[in-house]
A and B are shown apart, each in its own frame.
Chain A
Amino acid sequence: MISTRLNRKTANPRLEKKTTSGPVKELLRLSAPYAAPLTIACLCVVIVNAAYLVQPLILQRVIDHFLIGHAAPRGLDSIGGMALLYLTVSAAGGVFSYIQSLLVARAGQGLIHNLRVKVLSIIQLLPLSYLDRTLPGRLITRATNDTSEISDLYTDVVVMLIKDVLLLGGIVYVMLSLSLELTLVSFIVIPVIIFLVVYIKNRIQRNFFHMKHFIGRINGFIAESISGMRVIQIFRAEREKEAQFLELNGQYFATTLTQVRLNSILKPASDLFQNLSIAILVWYGAGKIFGGSLQIGVLYAFTTYIKQFFAPISDLADKYTSIQSALVSTERICELFREQDRLEAPEEGLPVERLDGAIEFKHVWFAYNDADWVLKDVSFVIKKGQTAAFIGETGAGKTTIISLINGFYRVQKGEILIDGINVNNIRLTDLRRNVSVVLQDVFLFSGNIRDNVTLGDDIADEAVRDALRASCAETFIQDLPAGMNEPVTERGGSLSSGQRQLISFARALAHDPAIFVLDEATANIDTHTEKLIQQAVDNLARGRTTLIIAHRLSTIAGADIIIAMKNGRIAESGDSAELLKRGGYYAKLLEESRSHAASC
């Protein structure tokens, strides 16, 4: 399946051209600042190549002139002189090849550093509406693999490509200038070599994709089995899993055997053709030498040049594939660059140091994808300092409402006002610093607990401690060996989900927001921790406008305003007493849970 996809891609040259012209231009633009070092590197390459070409010529002169011709040495034109020349040429080649590598490395690394930072900045500033649609894994690949793929293009491919092409040209030139006839004879073998190398490399490459595919699946399978080992053992499915694994492993093994077979032809083929071409040269050259129209040294030089010919051709076939994959990476990164005009501008808009926290939704319509309305004509007012509870079934639009308040998405119709200002006009940084959102799934950065509360902002230790105390997190943190400096990992590691929630409350409190938004979690927390969380929420809500997606009756009943959502519309709103009187969704909910409790 993979190979057919590749074939289709190359079978459509028009499409190919269209997609690659952009990245090439973009690459050139990115490398413009490094034009000077890269040009010097290319000049170095010329010298290195020249050194390679001259070495066989020196040997040829020694053989023909001195060893067979018995010419008298004249100054530097002697065996000693030739030896000195050989040494000098080799040394110069080495020095310039080192210089070239360093120049390319500096340029390549500089370029890649800029690229990496640029890619990450773009990702950071993309609106969530874009990020929601993109798999996180894909974004991670952009910033790591794709950038280093392009880096390889610079460090390895481009300069080596120039080097190889120049070397090939140089060899042909020197060969022609030595003997036209012998050059033609040598070229009997070269087309065969080129064909063989390109053909087999191509097949190896295709097979390599299969290998990668299978090894990817195998590794995924092992990872899954290790994570799910408990269930596998409890359900006694070891034999079934083993059979699945053996099948995958067997398929992979078959592809590796193909790889071994192909490589077993390609690797010794280089020696085969070198040896064969030397045999042909000697066979053809013997007659010429007999007739006196060819010198032995020239014949010998030719055998060396044919050897030198093989490596760059083999390299070129490899480079071709790396260029292709680098172009794919470039295209992907360019795609990201094209999103640049959609980026959020955190510093633009009306600066508001401190918001009061009065919220008004005015006929808000919103859809994540411009087609399916998630919020339909939603209007409500929450006064400064009030607590609002949102209730309703999953998918009713509760989470969407809280994502709109801090400007994560822009509404299509209607407007959202905070302190009477449209949220779209408030400076994003100020808006978000005034609104703290605590989601069900708490994200902790690797670092320590303090860092996770301050998030790098300048907040004094005393304030952090206060925030932790008010969030009821102080007790368990005191029990940790390093207290506030206890290291935490991304997914929390040793901390329970309730404890992570408490830390995220402290994070919100320490930033002293005007508006506090909470998605209340319920699952998998024992009654004791639940009590702590409730206490922390009460502390946080004090003196702040608070919006809660509520699950607990106690939270809902204590709210100043209850908003019941249904299918993207507000079904009913008001305080607990009003809604009970109404006898709608809220009243039913209350009754249901009471009756359930009563049946206990």
Chain B
Amino acid sequence: MKAFFLLRFFKSRKFSYAAGFAFMFAASFIQTLFPKVLGSSVDLMKERGFALHPVLMNVLWMVLIAFAVFVFTFLWRNMIIANGRNLECYIREELFRHLLTLSPAFYGKRKTGDLIAHAINDISAVRMTFGPATAMSFNGIVICISSIYFMFAAVDARLALLTLAPLPFIIALMLYIGRKIQSRFRIVQDQFGLVSDKVQENISGIRVIKAYAQERSEIEKFGALSSGMAQSNVNLIKVSAALPPLIEFGFAVCFVINLFYGSRMVMRGDISVGDFVAFNGYLSLIVSPIVSIGRVVTIFQRGMASLGRLYDIMSVQPDVTDSPHALRLRPEGEIELRHLTFYHDGARVPALSDVSLRLSKGRTLGIIGPTGAGKSTLAALLLRLYNTEPGQILLDGRDIGDYSLTYLRESYAFVPQDTFVFASSVKDNIVFFKDTYGDEEVEAASRLSLIADSISRFPDGYDTLLGDRGVNLSGGQKQRMAIARALIRNPAVLILDDALSAVDTVTEGRILESLRRARKGKTNIIISHRISALMEADEIIVLDKGFIRERGTHEKLLKKGGMYYDLYTAQQEDGQPQA
């Protein structure tokens, strides 16, 4: 359904396209009348004592043609080319909307850089195809057909045939060299990629290069890449520079044929001098459409390839969607997992195996375990970032898939390991672009997560810009801001996924303390490597390779002397003061 988005666009603009093409047709056709009028003026003037009046009439015609072509061209450009721009923005919107609906499974498989490249290059290639290239080809076709028609019909068919004889060769040569240019151009682009990668690497890795005194050898390596690129550029220019002179020479041959045979025909009286001049005019009219054939072909090829790639993305169906009868209901925070087993796409080993637990409203669950144990997967499943089998995850006694995504996710707040900071103000990052929260709420949430003091020291307080162009937060500040982002929503369920790893143990203790107060009576899930973060939970589960190995309270698990106990003693030895 979504893949037909282009067709929808063209349908919605069919009138402006139709009018645009009509104007374009008029402009191109009227343009081809000009040489004829010029030729007729020459014929009028060549006799001694000619009548001035008809010549002046012709002048008037020329002025009319000039303005008509201008006005019609202005009009069609504002329709066809503007539609191309409109299409560009339309596709970008559709793509962005579509990207918002796609699930983490999709993003896990795609590189961010590739997706951005689609958004930039492919859209621009499609615009070029449906805007300028379509216009150029239609325009060129009309001009060529009517010019050649006038050459044949109004001047002389034999002369036209003779003169146009070199054209097929010119076109063949052009396409042949065009292909060569393309392949050499690709080499240049690859080389350019290598050169800029190297530059980037050398600048990001400058400390390592200096520390190991590698400057000289790095410069040598770069020199080799750079001269390779210079050489391939010269190779490219060797063919690309040959194209314009060759085409020009090809047309010069056409002109010479006309010059030679045309003037003989004039002398024999077969055609008039005016016809000869008009013929020359038609010949120069078709030069630029023919020259642009190569370019148009390339644009079309690229555009079609890009369109294919865009179609591929647009036809990916989002995995996680609302069911037709989704419940418009907020879960209250009663969670139950029943024999939950989950495989990531294409994985042979499950990320979670037979996980069962019950977390009633108002209780806190701690999850601990080594990297890859399935802790974060469990959090992702509770947020329904991936689909699970019906009946495996129940919220307030109903299957998680029954809830509308909006209601489901709005009843959660999640603080991930690596906080994503948007290049926007502190406030935007906390309210997360929703305008339903007042300033007091923002400040209260910041105080609870112990970030308020840091924010008050920023140049513009809550309006301070973050990210590339603004203040860079430390790892600990980011995590505390993310906690504020979660707390302001006052969610039914709060999930902290190793969210305190970058704050020191003392601050960690204070944040946990303030969370306990703020989250009284609500459901909480704390995932951590550090025992100190979750030892006060009502229940703690130890996950390992997707299985629950141990469960119980801190004291119970210590007594048991298993994995939890080992982790505890290992962390006790290190102490890990974050000085």
Contact = CB atoms under 8 A, between A and B. Distances in A.
B463 interface: no
B74 A432 contact: no
A524 interface: yes
A123 interface: yes
Given A226-B112, A260-B78, A552 B107 contact: no
Q: Chain A CB within 10 Å — which of B45, B218, B264 has the most? A: B45
Nearest to B41: A282
A120 B199 contact: yes
A330 interface: no
A490 B245 CA distance: 45
A322 B210 CA distance: 36
A128 to B, nearest CB: 7
Interface in A518-554: 522-524, 526-531, 551-554
A245 B119 CA distance: 13
A446 B197 contact: yes
Contact of B579 (A123, A393, A428): A393
Interface in A397-435: 406, 408, 428-429, 432-433, 435
Interface string A276-295: 10110011001101101000
B217 interface: yes
Contacts of B221: 456
Given A124-B206, A234-B412, A456-B217, A596 B89 contact: no
Given A79-B259, A102-B241, A524-B501, A90 B434 contact: no
Nearest to B568: A600
A338 to B, nearest CB: 19
A250 to B, nearest CB: 8
A583 interface: no
A219 B578 CA distance: 39
Nearest to B217: A456
A459 B107 CA distance: 40
A523 B238 contact: no
A375 B264 CA distance: 95
Nearest to A228: B420
A344 B215 CA distance: 10
A241 interface: yes
A596 B273 contact: no
Given A102-B241, A290-B50, A264 B199 contact: no
B201 A446 contact: yes
Nearest to B113: A223
Given A226-B107, A527-B567, A95 B370 contact: no
Contacts of A241: 100, 433
Contact of A600 (B210, B222, B532): B532
A242 B409 CA distance: 18
A209 B26 CA distance: 34
B208 A264 contact: no
A121 B216 CA distance: 8
A91 B255 CA distance: 13
A290 to B, nearest CB: 6
B263 A79 contact: yes
The main secondary structure of chain A at its interface with chain B is helix
A113 B77 contact: no
A530 B416 CA distance: 22
A265 B81 CA distance: 13
Interface string A219-261: 1101111111111111111101110111001101100110111
Given A222-B119, A264-B74, A589-B577, A87 B46 contact: no
Q: Chain A CB within 10 Å — which of B42, B213, B256 has the most? A: B213
B246 A94 contact: yes
B157 interface: no
Contact of A98 (B241, B255, B570): B241
B252 A278 contact: no
A228 B213 CA distance: 38
Contacts of A252: 89
A445 B201 CA distance: 7
B237 A249 contact: no
B360 interface: no
A505 to B, nearest CB: 13
Contact of A278 (B62, B267, B422): B62
Contacts of B42: 296, 300
Contacts of A172: none
A596 B266 CA distance: 108
Contacts of B101: 238
A145 to B, nearest CB: 9
Nearest to A139: B203
A137 to B, nearest CB: 9
Interface string A92-111: 01110110011001100110
A283 B116 contact: no
B432 A237 contact: yes
Contact of B237 (A105, A393, A529, A551): A105
Interface in B158-214: 195-197, 199-214
Contact of A594 (B31, B233, B554, B575): B575
B337 interface: no
Interface string B296-338: 0000000000000000000000000000000000000000000
Contacts of A63: 273, 276-277
Given A109-B233, A256-B85, A272-B67, A439 B99 contact: no
A589 to B, nearest CB: 6
Interface in B223-266: 223, 226-227, 229-231, 233-234, 237-238, 241-242, 244-246, 248-249, 252-253, 255-256, 259-260, 263-264, 266
Given A303-B38, A592-B506, A68 B219 contact: no
A43 interface: no
B241 A83 contact: no
Contact of A523 (B38, B205, B253, B502): B502
Contact of B97 (A90, A231, A242, A303): A242
Given A123-B203, A242-B96, A523-B502, A282 B55 contact: yes
A218 interface: yes
A269 B42 CA distance: 25
A329 interface: no
B88 interface: yes
A66 interface: yes
B553 interface: no
B483 interface: no
B230 A109 contact: yes
Contacts of A259: 85
A113 B78 CA distance: 43
A227 B148 CA distance: 55
Contacts of B423: 220, 224
Interface in B412-448: 412-414, 416-417, 420, 422-423, 432-434
B45 to A, nearest CB: 5
Contacts of B574: 530, 552-554
Nearest to A435: B211
B370 A527 contact: yes
A94 B248 CA distance: 7
Q: Sorted from nearest, which 6 A-B pairs have the closest CB atoms?
A: A94-B245, A101-B241, A90-B252, A275-B66, A268-B73, A279-B62
6 contacts: A86-B255, A144-B199, A260-B82, A393-B579, A527-B567, A597-B575
Interface of A: 55, 58-59, 62-63, 66-68, 70, 79-80, 82-83, 86-87, 90-91, 93-95, 97-98, 101-102, 105-106, 109-110, 112-113, 116-117, 120-121, 123-125, 128, 131, 136, 139-140, 143-144, 155, 218-220, 222-238, 240-242, 244-246, 249-250, 252-253, 256-257, 259-261, 263-265, 267-269, 271-272, 275-276, 278-279, 282-283, 286-287, 289-290, 292, 296, 300, 303, 307, 344, 346, 391-394, 406, 408, 428-429, 432-433, 435-437, 439, 443, 445-446, 455-457, 490, 496, 507, 511, 522-524, 526-531, 551-554, 589-590, 592-594, 596-597, 600
Given A117-B222, A249-B96, A392-B579, 9 more contacts: A59-B259, A109-B234, A233-B103, A235-B485, A257-B82, A289-B45, A292-B48, A526-B370, A593-B576
